[in-house]
Structure 1
Amino acid sequence: MSEDFVTAVSGVGALMEPARRALYLYAAAQAEPVSREQAAAACELPLHSAKFHLDRLVDEGLLEVEYRRLSGRSGPGAGRPAKLYRRADREVSVSLPERHYDLAGDVLATAIDEAARGGISVRDTVMAVAEARGQVMAAASAVNGADDLERTAAVLAEHGYEPHQDGDTLSLSNCPFDRLARDHVQLVCGMNLGLVNGVIEGLGCQSLDAVLDPEEGLCCVKVRSRRS
């Protein structure tokens, strides 16, 4: 399970508490950052309770803080700056199983741009862009010390593929782009193949190959040891 997924679940879970949810919705709806006092009054909460929940929302990355003197004055006697809250830029979404349509959209948009500039096939460009992105995914991972299959599995797990090893073969129980794959099989399977190939290359796993091997209930790609 990816760290981003765990973070997103935590953020959504923070909004399950009714008072916290009300404070978040109030702050998000305002054109300007709000003070604790404003939020407490608007949500009809005790000030100490509003402070606690607002700071919890900050800890979860759902709100951001700035400090400003509400009087507009500065210098001696102007008072301490107030702590103000506003909605964070962070986007939070959760899907089970994990889906990464933002990644698919980024790869496809980049591929379309590059194909238009070069006058080449979008499908071929998708493969190349996906492979480059897979290399970036591998480079950003902290996995080390295991054999090639285990390291590859660890990176793919971080991105929602749910890998499991059977001998010298790595199967992927989840396609992070499942809804797209249903309507655009060849394009999305090619993107998956490029991403997984990129991860293998980025990790320097010369003993492995990524191959298209569709199987009901699994991602279309498998990773195999060249010994198998």
Structure 2
Amino acid sequence: MPSEPRFTFAPPATVFVPVVGQDTLFPVHRIYCVGRNYEEHAKEMGFTGREPPFFFLKPADAIVVAETDQTATIDYPRQTSNLHHEIELVVAIGTGGRNIQAADAHKHIFGYAVGLDMTRRDLQNDMKKQGRPWCIGKAFDQSAPIGPITPAAQAGDIARADIWVQVNGVDRQRSNISKLIWNIAETIEHLSAAWDLQPGDLIYTGTPEGVAAVKTGDVMDGGVSGLTPIHVEVVAA
């Protein structure tokens, strides 16, 4: 029998998200994010048209779980003075695969959740100007708040669901999932052509127009029709 592995230090704990109506937990493998996937948001960022989809990643431990009926907290991050909210529908992959066709994409989806792609916009913009990767603007600690995952069969007509976020009770972003430039199935097709999708992958599918800054003390209330809403407060580090 092989001996048990000996680690130089305790390995990190598995990152997981609760599942609505179940006592099981969804272990997170990778976080993929789709850039500029709503036309009006693309315009407000200075772009137009249906460009080919592009992706960036966040580390799994950027997850902050916003439990049902509770307010999660995230620290105002270092090195920024322009922290933006981006409300998103999150797709949870239950069955992996490569080169998945859009017509088969639904077979690979475990469920859906509400998420926030928090962005250090000033750092992201600085990296863009220099033609450098903008991981520092997107892939920082606590940059991926998420609510519980609703199994796909219980999520209703997600492709036509409303999506919104309010800050301190005032609307900031409000749109509909039907306005995605690349819909959920098309996104999975494109993504799985570049990476082998794995069970546990999360796909943040893009944000509608209305992104804006938040400050310490602000509370973000986000939702997608049919899914558990999230409540996230920004606190001093």
Normalising by structure 1, report the TM-score: 0.23
Higher strand share: 2
Normalising by structure 2, report the TM-score: 0.22
Choose between structure 1 and 2 for higher RCO, CA contacts under 8 A separated by at least 6 residues. Answer: 2
